[in-house]
Structure 1
Amino acid sequence: MVPSCAEGGVLGIICASVASVMGTEAIKLITGIGETLLGRLLVYDALEMSYRTITIRKDPSTPKITELVDYEQFCGVVADDAAQAAKGSTITPRELRDWLDSGRKLALIDVRDPVEWDIVHIDGAQLIPKSLINSGEGLAKLPQDRTAVLYCKTGVRSAEALAAVKKAGFSDAVHLQGGIVAWAKQMQPDMVMY
């Protein structure tokens, strides 16, 4: 498995090298001058100081891109309202374990997508995807008589869902810091991860 940038680290100078190529490509696309890399992949090997170009064939079954994705969500950045909602409403995996062991009345809500739920989830959790919470449809499924504890994979989506849940009046709702990844590392190391 390939490590993420956070796991493997990134050499800053490589970012600058790639950024200069990307900037050049953007200028060529905007002005219509030169030959762009459309349909080709440029591979940069900093250790060998070499470039390779690979021609890529279009997959006819791939859907066309017709709109921009949410940049903050794509980058895994917590939006301002989510960060605000998470202040004072974030619990650690250890705190969640203590709550579960004490018998505290809580509802463990997994806000990931069903395909992620099928791979792994915390025992006793209920699946209510973030998309359903944001649309309002999932809010009706949240219990009124227990503290809602939201979690996702790493804590970004659950913080965003927490903002919507708090706006809907669930003032005691919290989310799990670091998501199921942190839970697995700290509380259940034998848990399957993806």
Structure 2
Amino acid sequence: MLSDQELLRYSRQILLPQVDVDGQLRLKRSRALIVGLGGLGSPVALYLAAAGVGELHLADFDSVDLTNLQRQVLHDTPSVGQGKVDSALARLAALNPEVVLRPLRGALDADSLAAAVAAVDLVLDCSDNFATREAVNSACVAAGKPLVSGAAIRLEGQLSVFDPRSEGSPCYHCLYGHGSEAELTCSEAGVVGPLVGLVGSLQALEALKLLAGFGEPLVGRLLLVDALTSRFRELRVRRDPQCPVCGARHGQ
């Protein structure tokens, strides 16, 4: 049940016929893992906490740096030098004390990542490197958990949903293969702050749709954001039957 306080807090969301009280209850009973509490993870964590997702599991091994504050709006100047998980805990608890927060402060190895994914209903990859994205994808495929994946660098962003519960859904590896050893990070190539805010907000929206059960998630579709021209493009993405990550799950 929702308390009177919760009904009031989430009233504008509950007014939507696509959400209603039943959808809000589903959000309250949901658990989401956010991998990375930087530029993408900031709006993801803030909006999911504000929306009333019952449990947020927060994973990040890094500390807040002054250069982060241009885009990582979850953190502030007094939190510089503090662990990002601890900074996030304070901000999110102040935003919505109804939400249960589970900190994951260290780097996740294969075993701890598998356990973290198994403990939730949905995973949001807000990391900034290919190795982590591949590891998170593999863990989600193995556990059968949906993955909302976002990326942003320079003036370009990408977003997709990979859902191993759906027979036709590709996984991250189907789309990106083995990646590139020459992959750049924001610290090397730069990024404009509102772009990561936009992509992260869209990740949060996709998560709410999946958890509350409304709308059409971005499964099998890749959304491309061009911040320079303010244009969006959508590409269809098919599952690779020979994919070494998800092929075996679908009997290939």
- Alignment TM-score, normalising by the size of structure 1: 0.31
TM-score of the superposed pair, with normalisation by structure 2: 0.24
